[in-house]
Structures are given as structure tokens and as C-alpha cells.
A and B are shown apart, each in its own frame.
Chain A
Amino acid sequence: MTQTVSGVAPSAGAAPAAERRVDWTRYSQQAGLIAVVVLLGAVFTAKNSDFATSSNLIELLRAATLYFIVACASTMILVGGGLDFSIGAVYALGAVVSGELMTHNVWWPVAILGGIAAGVLVGLLNAAISVYLSVPPLIATLGTFFVASGLAVVMTSGSDVFGFPDSFINLGAGDIAGIPNLIFYALAVGLIFHVLLERTLFGYDTRALGGNRAAAAANGIRVARRDLQLYSISGGVAALAGILGAARLSTASPTAGGSGLTFQVITAVIIGGTSLFGGSGTIAGSALGAILFAEINNGLQVVNVNPLYQQIFIGVILVAAVAIDQYQRKRRFRA
């Protein structure tokens, strides 16, 4: 086959052009997102110069950190063709489990591990339900969302847990040279997930899994094992974020996170260019999505717009981002 036979085959022949085009479209959504973030920043700054102060920008980034940490794992799940709705509830469950352990005099590092373990367990349950009972991930994780929420409330009889050691609180509330610890954690988590997704066997398998599950299985990728790993990571990371959130506020609330967090995280990931249909997505995109979220929230407050407008903004941006993505996909791939 030295030539393409069907008439609509632009890919053979013009090698360098094809190569450039692939690289460009892969990052175009992120470039667009950066433009939106910068433009919006300029608008907010024009309205109120307080927006661009370093203290406000640091606050903006800090507000994005916990969402971003959860979003890293959600990006992996979506790239792998799955979906985890339980993250908002696991966020609260992880915090509450760690909190209860600490108030029962368990050493705080062990308490953190206990909270993460609770999240991993929910993740394993999610994967087991969807893989072995063939329940779609949407339903499986919606079910465990309610179960985990319920457990968090039952464990605490519905009230907040507090009275944590200072070294634990410092984890979430402390800073290094004026930059909140949370920002460093988010950078570390983001870097780890980026490398995991882009460089490792696990990442490659995950993309294959999300791109075409049957093909991945037929080529010897152990899809069930990968699902178990993906959902456990998601559960563990969501719990970790909840624990860090509890450390920041010195309080573990059974109603923290919730469906609001689930929706915000998944929305940020999708705005960041990760496909709901699996196979494509990046951690950098999700970081931009999370930053855009925080920027809108922060900026609307700084310019004295009713923060309730935030949701309208986000809704429009979500639909626009996905519509643009779909349009590019149509032009790029054959039907």
C-alpha cells in the first residue's frame, strides 16, 4: 500500500505537515485555556487592581489546590475510560476517619494512613462493582457516593470532628516563605501524576484502556487489574485531599466535599481537555481547569459581583470547551 485508496485520505504523503498538525491540535485546547485564564485575569485586574496582587494570586492558587489534587486522579480515571462520582463523599470520609482516629489518640501519621486506606477501600469497591458485577461506573460510584457519605455521617453522628494535634494542623494550614504548604503538595501530586500518565507502563495501559477497552484486553493488557488500581488511586487521593482540607480548617466535617466537589472536579478536568469518552487528557489541562475555576470564584468576589454568578460562568465555559473539543475532533479524525 504505497498510496491511500479512499479519496479522503490526507494523512499519507505529506509527512511533515501531518506531524506538525498532530502536535498543534493536541495542545490547542490548553493554549486556548491559558488565553482564557490570562484574559479573565486582565479583565478582573482592570476592574480592581487588587486582583493581581501576589497575596491574592497565592490565595487563588491555594483555593485550587485541593480540587486539583482530586482532579489528578479523576483525570487518570477519565483517561482510562472510567468515571468516579464517589470522590466528593470519599473526601469527607477520609477526613472523618482520620479525625476520629486522632481524637482516639492514634498518632497522626497513622491516622492519615487510616483515612487514605478508607478511601482506597471505597475505590476497590467501585472497581469491583463495575468490573465483576458489570454495573456501569457512573452507577457504581454514585452508589458508593451515598454509602460513603452515609458512613461519614454515621461515624460522627453528623457533627464535626476537631481537636487535632498542631503538627497535623500545620500540614494543611502552614506555609513555607509565605507560600501555603498546600501549593507544594499540589505541585508534587501533579508532577507525580503527570509522569505516571505520560511516561509509565501504567499510564500507557490506562490510555489504551480508555481509548478502546476491547482492544486493550485483546492485546493482553489486564484491564480488570488496571481498573482496580485506577479506582483505588482515585479513592486514596480523594481521601488524602479531604484529610489535608481537614488539617487546613482544623476540622473534619462529614458534610465537606460532597456532590459539589465531585461536580467541580469532573468539570475542571473536562474543561482541561480530558475526554469523557476516554483515551485523551492531560494533568496540565486539569491544572488549568482547576485554576480557571478558582480564578472565576476569586475574581468575581474581588470585583464585587455576586458569587452566585460563578455557576453560570462555569456552565457556559464547560459547554463551550467541550463543543470546541468536539468540533476539532470531527475535523481531525475520520468518522
Chain B
Amino acid sequence: MTPSTAPALQLRGISKRFGHVTALAGVDLTAYDGNILAVLGDNGAGKSTLIKVISGVHQPDEGEIQVNEESVILRNPADARTAGVATVFQDLALVEVLDVSTNMFLGQFPRRGWFVDRKAMDQQSRAFLDELRVTVASVKTEIGMLSGGQRQIVAIARAMRTGAQIVLLDEPTAALGVRETAHAADLIRALRDRGTAVICVSHDMNFVFEVADRVQVMRLGRVVGVREIATTTRDEVIGLITGSIADSPTEERT
């Protein structure tokens, strides 16, 4: 099921050290348009560091990042955005005291001359949330008044709105109930169906097997396997996570 097209995002030999701790050791990653890649791993596997490298928060000590087969250097989150990477962070990165539509456009406020075009912002937010069947009473509601699930959905919707080619999701279901998780899964599939390359870091095995197309397993800062969801099993993936199945970092079944 791996698309035959060129990868949207490719990481080669990414290493990152914090003092004496090696968080990432020669990590490769490939993500394709219209495809959901799940990144699984135990605590300390390097998933969060990997997300932060791709989103421009951390800079790798070694290795190369390519977007659409062109090498990019992501010095900060703004660079990552410019390169077409949007990230939904685990702590959501929403501003609680600001309303939904302002949060939807954070960092990319539409303007009319010198001023922010508040009307366009509200209308587009409303239209976009309606399209995604997200129920928020008013786009002028402050984020602080929403439930955890609603916040998560707004955060995902924001990443979709930016029209980024590559969307990173860090533990998208961590704080969600059953119904909200299902809605988040719908949104992520909608994202894929628009042709977005989705990378989704998660602990939630059920969610990964339900939503993802491919899964990359990490352990202790290394990639220990990349599998197609259709052709792998939970047991195999769990074996890779715990290390009971031998590493096979470069073998990707097709």
C-alpha cells in the first residue's frame, strides 16, 4: 500500500543528543501524500523528540530533512510552516484566553490593509468547522470554555485549515473519550483523503490499527521497524516495541 509516488517528507540519519543522552540515533522516516504514518514506541523511544525535529522546535545534530525531495533546514517552527509542515502538539498549543477563530488563524491572521480581517476570520472558521461537522457554539467562544475533546478537535481543524502538505499529530487521542476519539479519527482520515501526508505519534494501539496506513516503531532512539498496517499484526508491532522481535529498521514490506 505504500504509494509509489515520491515521498512528501523524508528524514535521513537524524540524530539528536541532549548532553550525554542520545534521544535520536540515525533515525529515518518517510511519509507520503494521502497516507497516514503512525509512529509507535514506548516512553523514551524518541517519538516526541522526532516530532519536535520535524516541527522545527529542535534542530538535529546530524541528518537531513527533505520535503518534496528538496533538502530543508528548519531553524524554528516558522520555517517548518513555510516548508508546509503543520503540527498539532500534545499540549495543543492553543491560547485559552482567545476565541476559536483567533486560534484557528494563530500565526496566519488574514489581513485587509493594516488590519486583521476579523470578519473573514470568523466566517472562514465557521465554514470550516461546519464542513468538519465540529460543534462549537460560537467561533467567538474562548478556548478556555471548551472541553478537552473540543479543544483537540479545534487543534486538528487548525492544522487542516493551514492547508499544510504534511500534518504532524502528537498523541491526538491522549485526552479524549470514546466518541471524541472516533471524531478525531474521522478528521484524520478526512485529512488523508485531501491528499495530506499525516504523521501521527501515538500510544493508542487500537487507534493506530484503525486509522493508520503504515506504522513505524521506535525503540531507544532508533527505528526498529516499518510495517504496512494491512500486512502486520498487533503481536508483531508489540514485539517490535518491546524488543522481543529483532530489529529490522530498513526492511519495509511492500
Known contacts A5-B179, A279-B98; A201/B137 CB under 8 A:
no
User: How far in angstroms is the closest Cβ of chain A from B164?
Assistant: 11
Q: In the complex, A220 Cα to B150 Cα: how many Å?
A: 23
Q: In the complex, A221 Cα to B176 Cα: how many Å?
A: 28
A1, A199, A203, A214: which has the most chain B beta carbons within 10 Å?
A1
Known contacts A199-B116, A201-B109, A334-B144; A1/B135 CB under 8 A:
yes
Q: In the complex, A123 Cα to B55 Cα: how many Å?
A: 31
Q: In the complex, A279 Cα to B94 Cα: how many Å?
A: 12
| Residues of chain B contacted by A18 (CB below 8 angstroms) | 137-138, 141, 145
- Tell yes or no: B189 within 8 A of A by CB: no
- Interface stretch among B30-38, B100-108, B217-225? B100-108
Known contacts A1-B183, A279-B95; A220/B137 CB under 8 A:
no
User: How far in angstroms is the closest Cβ of chain B from A24?
Assistant: 12
Other-chain contact of A333, B76, B91, B145 (Cβ < 8 Å): B145
Question: Contact at B179–A1, with CB atoms within 8 Å?
Answer: yes
Question: Contact at B149–A19, with CB atoms within 8 Å?
Answer: no
User: How far in angstroms is the closest Cβ of chain A from B88?
Assistant: 10
- Tell yes or no: B136 within 8 A of A by CB: yes
A2, A5, A14: which has the most chain B beta carbons within 10 Å?
A5
Question: Contact at B93–A19, with CB atoms within 8 Å?
Answer: no
- Tell yes or no: B18 within 8 A of A by CB: no
User: How far in angstroms is the closest Cβ of chain A from B181?
Assistant: 9
B94, B144, B148: which has the most chain A beta carbons within 10 Å?
B144
- Interface stretch among A42-50, A82-90, A100-108, A205-213? A205-213
| Residues of chain B contacted by A219 (CB below 8 angstroms) | 77, 81, 93, 106-108
Within 8 A of A (CB), among B36-94: 55, 57, 76-78, 81, 87, 89, 91-94
Q: In the complex, A5 Cα to B144 Cα: how many Å?
A: 16
B55, B78, B147: which has the most chain A beta carbons within 10 Å?
B147
Q: In the complex, A218 Cα to B176 Cα: how many Å?
A: 22
Q: In the complex, A278 Cα to B149 Cα: how many Å?
A: 25
User: How far in angstroms is the closest Cβ of chain A from B67?
Assistant: 16
Question: Contact at B177–A5, with CB atoms within 8 Å?
Answer: yes
| Residues of chain A contacted by B118 (CB below 8 angstroms) | 199
Within 8 A of B (CB), among A188-209: 199-201, 203-205, 207-208
Interface string of A304-335 (1 = CB under 8 A from B): 00000000000000000000000000001110
Question: Contact at A1–B134, with CB atoms within 8 Å?
Answer: yes
- Tell yes or no: B133 within 8 A of A by CB: yes
Within 8 A of B (CB), among A207-247: 207-208, 211-212, 214-222
- Tell yes or no: A176 within 8 A of B by CB: no
Known contacts A215-B106, A220-B81; A200/B115 CB under 8 A:
yes
Other-chain contact of B95, A5, A203, A215, A334 (Cβ < 8 Å): A215
| Residues of chain B contacted by A222 (CB below 8 angstroms) | 78
Question: Contact at B137–A13, with CB atoms within 8 Å?
Answer: yes
Within 8 A of B (CB), among A240-260: none
| Residues of chain A contacted by B146 (CB below 8 angstroms) | 11, 334
- Tell yes or no: B17 within 8 A of A by CB: no
Question: Contact at B95–A207, with CB atoms within 8 Å?
Answer: yes
| Residues of chain B contacted by A9 (CB below 8 angstroms) | 147, 150
- Tell yes or no: A280 within 8 A of B by CB: yes
Question: Contact at A199–B140, with CB atoms within 8 Å?
Answer: no
- Tell yes or no: A157 within 8 A of B by CB: no
Question: Contact at B138–A15, with CB atoms within 8 Å?
Answer: yes
Question: Contact at B111–A201, with CB atoms within 8 Å?
Answer: yes
Known contacts A12-B136, A220-B77, A334-B145; A214/B114 CB under 8 A:
no
- Tell yes or no: B236 within 8 A of A by CB: no
B98 to chain A: closest residue by CB: A211
Question: Contact at A22–B141, with CB atoms within 8 Å?
Answer: yes
User: How far in angstroms is the closest Cβ of chain A from B118?
Assistant: 8
Question: Contact at A208–B102, with CB atoms within 8 Å?
Answer: yes
- Tell yes or no: A3 within 8 A of B by CB: yes
| Residues of chain B contacted by A13 (CB below 8 angstroms) | 135, 137
Other-chain contact of B145, A11, A199, A200, A217 (Cβ < 8 Å): A11
- Tell yes or no: A4 within 8 A of B by CB: yes
| Residues of chain A contacted by B183 (CB below 8 angstroms) | 1
30 sampled A-B residue pairs with Cβ under 8 A: A2-B133, A2-B135, A4-B150, A5-B177, A6-B177, A11-B145, A13-B135, A18-B145, A22-B140, A22-B145, A199-B115, A200-B114, A203-B116, A204-B109, A205-B109, A207-B98, A208-B98, A208-B102, A211-B95, A215-B95, A218-B77, A220-B78, A220-B107, A221-B78, A222-B78, A278-B97, A280-B97, A332-B142, A334-B144, A334-B147
Question: With contacts A2-B135, A18-B141, A201-B111 known, what are 8 further pairs, Cβ within 8 A?
Answer: A11-B136, A19-B140, A199-B115, A201-B109, A212-B93, A219-B93, A332-B145, A333-B144
List residues of B whose CB falls within 8 A of some A CB. 55, 57, 76-78, 81, 87, 89, 91-99, 102, 106-109, 111, 114-116, 118, 133-138, 140-142, 144-150, 153, 176-180, 183
Counting from the closest, the 4 A-B pairs by CB-CB distance are A219-B107, A211-B95, A279-B97, A333-B144
